[in-house]
């Protein structure tokens, strides 16, 4: 007994670097058991120990890229599943075993025989969606995400464990190549963070965002993080002054509570700076105050929230437009809290979040924690079940393209909710910006397809009308109505988009069949041979590329088969055919000539690609969507011509490329000699006065010797705002220019924007 305790004490004092691989594994497993024993779950330690021993033996001798034993990864995932998500022994075992079937010779049958059917099913679901996530197939990630969502209605624990797996991969991303880091970070920000948010895993969602940002923008991350640390003392003083009178009143109320300050995440601060074009110093809502209380009776927790609200608003001045009542009506991801914004002692607004300890647990751990508090079964369909049902409907679409599907599903992932009523008073949850047509599809697919107009609060409106929370909506239908392509422009839900696209595809197939019959009948009637030459002549004349397009337009009546068509076909002049011949084959010759003139250089995708210009020729192309300049954090995308297109790492299109075409992403870096000029746009705002424009141009062209590309300024009611296009060499030059412009008394803001 004495020897064992002495050995444990020695191990605990050793640093991770000093521990052997076996000691590291032993230490992590004991930490996992400790997390599990401190949870509210039934204590099934024996099966967890068996799963660990089995996985440890299966992965024996295998190392991760970081050099650590592979088993440390499943152990870390199991700890996240237990401690951060709050799941029990079944999920912990599945997490420990999640890579065994994929990476070793063991089969799903082996897992089922040893650990039972339920654990085997979850491991099977995880195995199905893991292949290719880090693979080399373009759009494999999108297809795997689709598979992942297909498993959700069966057992949501599959997706929860997958999110835990991604979180640990992000925590250890430093050992990967930069190109892999960008790909995985982009995919995480595009898919996994919003998915974690939708499932209510707020803490995990925040960490995924911060880690993605850290690898994509290391300098900006370090800068903001340092500024948060530097401003901590001032924040602490402000919080103590703000919290003191509230604490006093809550104690007098006899409440068991905790009050703390929650600092915004690095990513959300940066995001706000980007969206509002403001520096760090102008992000005033840097922290929020959170009050977490333990009610004497959980039946009274809503009442207690409003009592605390009353105390706060008696002390501080309320912002009436920034009250968020998610206590009476929780968010679709289960989030419950009462948010109120009040004027702080320093004259800035401070948000206060009021939650019970149960609400806080659900907010941090999501639906997994929700189950812990659920008493008995309920007939009411939960918001999560509704969401999963919608996902399943979208997946049932017979021909979804994986990448289109990703974009469609993100409509639901990112959605903020509004609540609207049917004429009978039933409540429907819809994404923010949803229209009357979205509402129609939420009721039933046929109602959406046959909708002609809507009544919102008893007033007749078009189907494109955006809805607001509290609206009562009635849909008017007609059996003769059907949607057209324009309908896609005014729907914002995944279900509506998918159903309209499905209907239009079906209609197109019918039109193609109808058009082909009409065209064949027209040929027979006019004794025309239905040859490829004739079809090519029609395609060229109507500027179409495929015969299916021709058949479809004939079928829906856009192209009439009349005497003019007959004359066109029988015309012996070869000009049309010659034009088509050149159109079809000329491009091929051009591209071959182009390749001869610019032989494609081999790009080493594992090394950082240096962006340079030699003898006036660049080895890259600037992306028109974000127009990066030297000094911006960038990455390269290898297009079909084996050319490198340079994007900002923060560019929305680049985020999509990282998620959809990961293997084409390469690490890129500007060469040191930036002699070439790049275009940039500065947005400027200020107070109008005589001579201010002259002063601005003098600073740009005179003091800083920067060339102006274009300038557009508007003035209204004593305020001016505009955009100045300039030629600069790098980011530092733009920042110096913005700084110099802000020194002009009349100028209140000057920031670079994408234009």
- By annotation, the residues acting in catalysis are 102-103
User: 451 with 429: CB under 8 angstroms?
Assistant: no
Q: Is 739 exposed, middle or buried (0-12, 13-18, 19+ CB in 10 A)?
A: exposed
Pair of tokens at residue 308:
């605390």
Closest among 436, 421, 438, 428 to 383, alpha carbons compared: 428
User: 208 with 188: CB under 8 angstroms?
Assistant: yes
Closest among 587, 541, 600, 547 to 566, alpha carbons compared: 541
User: 120 with 108: CB under 8 angstroms?
Assistant: yes
Pair of tokens at residue 13:
């004092």
- The percent helix, strand, coil of the chain (3-state, each to 5) is 55, 15, 30
Pair of tokens at residue 117:
């059917």
User: 263 with 228: CB under 8 angstroms?
Assistant: yes
CA distance 624 to 648: 11
Closest among 467, 405, 413, 477 to 436, alpha carbons compared: 467
User: 696 with 707: CB under 8 angstroms?
Assistant: no
CA distance 67 to 24: 13
Helix (H) or strand (E) holding 728: strand 719-728
CA distance 85 to 63: 27
E strands, 160-303, are 256-263, 287-294
HEC assignment per residue over 310-343: HHHHHHCCECCCCCEECCCCCCCCCCCCEEEEEE
Phi, psi of 253, rounded to the nearest 5 degrees:
-75, -15
Contacts of 676 (CB under 8 A, 6+ apart): 613, 729
Give the DSSP letter of residue 282: G
In the three-class reduction of DSSP (H, G, I as helix; E, B as strand; rest coil), residue 28 is classed as helix
**CA terminus-to-terminus distance, the chain:** 71
């Amino acid at each position: 007994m004495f020897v064992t305790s002495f050995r444990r004490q020695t191990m605990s004092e050793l640093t991770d670097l000093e521990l052997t691989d076996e000691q590291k594994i032993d230490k992590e497993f004991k930490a996992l058991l400790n997390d599990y024993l401190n949870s509210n779950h039934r204590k099934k330690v024996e099966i967890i120990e068996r799963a660990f021993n089995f996985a440890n033996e299966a992965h024996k001798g295998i190392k991760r890229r970081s050099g650590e034993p592979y088993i440390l990864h499943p152990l870390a995932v199991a700890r996240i599943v237990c401690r951060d998500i709050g799941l029990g022994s079944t999920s912990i075992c599945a997490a420990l075993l999640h890579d065994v079937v994929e990476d070793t010779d063991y089969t799903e049958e082996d897992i089922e025989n040893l650990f039972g059917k339920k654990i085997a099913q979850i491991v099977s679901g995880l195995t199905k969606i893991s292949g290719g996530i880090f693979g080399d197939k373009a759009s494999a990630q999108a297809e795997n995400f689709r598979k992942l969502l297909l498993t959700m209605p069966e057992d949501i624990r599959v997706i929860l464990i997958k999110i835990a797996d991604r979180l640990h991969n992000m925590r250890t991303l430093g050992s990967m190549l930069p190109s892999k880091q960008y790909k995985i970070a982009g995919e995480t920000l595009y898919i996994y963070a919003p998915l974690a948010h939708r499932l209510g895993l707020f803490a995990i969602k925040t960490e995924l965002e911060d880690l993605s940002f850290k690898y994509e923008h290391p300098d900006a991350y370090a800068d903001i993080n340092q500024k948060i640390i530097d401003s901590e003392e001032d924040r602490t003083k402000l919080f103590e002054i703000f919290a003191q009178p509230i604490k006093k009143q809550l104690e007098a109320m006899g409440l068991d509570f905790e009050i703390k300050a929650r600092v915004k995440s690095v990513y959300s601060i940066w995001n706000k700076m980007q969206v509002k074009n403001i520096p760090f110093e102008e992000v005033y809502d840097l922290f929020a105050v959170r009050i977490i209380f333990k009610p004497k009776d959980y039946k009274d927790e809503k009442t207690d929230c409003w009592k605390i609200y009353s105390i706060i608003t008696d002390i501080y001045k309320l912002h009436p437009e920034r009250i968020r009542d998610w206590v009476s009506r929780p968010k679709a991801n289960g989030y419950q809290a009462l948010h109120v914004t009040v004027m702080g002692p320093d004259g800035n607004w401070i948000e206060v979040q009021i939650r019970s300890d149960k609400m806080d647990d659900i907010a941090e751990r999501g639906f997994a924690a929700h189950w812990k508090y659920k008493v008995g079964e309920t007939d009411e369909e939960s918001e999560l079940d509704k969401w999963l049902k919608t996902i399943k409907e979208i997946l049932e679409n017979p021909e979804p393209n994986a990448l289109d599907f990703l974009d469609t599903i993100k409509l639901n992932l990112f959605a903020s909710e509004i609540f609207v009523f049917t004429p009978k008073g039933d409540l429907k949850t819809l994404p923010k910006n949803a229209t009357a047509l979205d509402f129609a599809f939420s009721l039933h697919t046929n109602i959406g397809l046959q909708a002609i107009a809507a009544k919102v609060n008893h007033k007749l409106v078009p189907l494109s009308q955006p809805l607001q929370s509290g609206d009562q909506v009635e849909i008017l239908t007609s059996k003769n109505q059907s949607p057209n392509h324009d309908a896609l422009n005014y729907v914002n839900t995944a279900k509506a988009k998918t159903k309209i696209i499905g209907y239009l595809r079906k209609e197109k197939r019918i039109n193609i069949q109808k058009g082909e019959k009409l065209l064949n009948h027209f040929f027979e009637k006019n004794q025309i041979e239905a040859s490829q030459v004739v079809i090519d002549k029609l395609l060229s004349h109507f500027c179409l590329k495929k015969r299916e397009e021709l058949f479809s337009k004939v079928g829906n009546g856009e192209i009439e088969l009349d005497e003019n068509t007959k004359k066109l076909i029988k015309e012996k002049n070869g000009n049309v055919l010659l034009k088509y011949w050149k159109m079809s084959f000329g491009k091929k010759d051009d591209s071959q000539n182009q390749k001869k003139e610019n032989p494609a250089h081999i790009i080493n995708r594992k090394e950082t690609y240096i962006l340079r210009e030699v003898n006036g020729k660049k080895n890259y192309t600037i992306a028109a969507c974000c127009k990066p300049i030297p000094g911006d954090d960038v990455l390269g995308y290898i297009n079909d011509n084996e050319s490198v297109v340079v994007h900002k790492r923060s560019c929305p299109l680049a985020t999509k490329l990282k998620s959809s075409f990961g293997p084409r992403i390469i690490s890129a870096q500007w060469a040191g000699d930036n002699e070439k000029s790049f275009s940039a746009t500065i947005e400027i705002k200020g107070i109008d006065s005589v001579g201010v424009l002259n002063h601005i141009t003098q600073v740009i062209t005179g003091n800083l010797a920067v060339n102006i590309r274009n300038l557009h300024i508007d003035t209204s009611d004593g305020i001016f705002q505009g955009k100045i296009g300039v030629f600069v060499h790098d980011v530092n030059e733009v920042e110096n220019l913005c700084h110099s412009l802000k020194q002009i008394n009349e100028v209140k803001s000057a920031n670079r924007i994408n234009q």
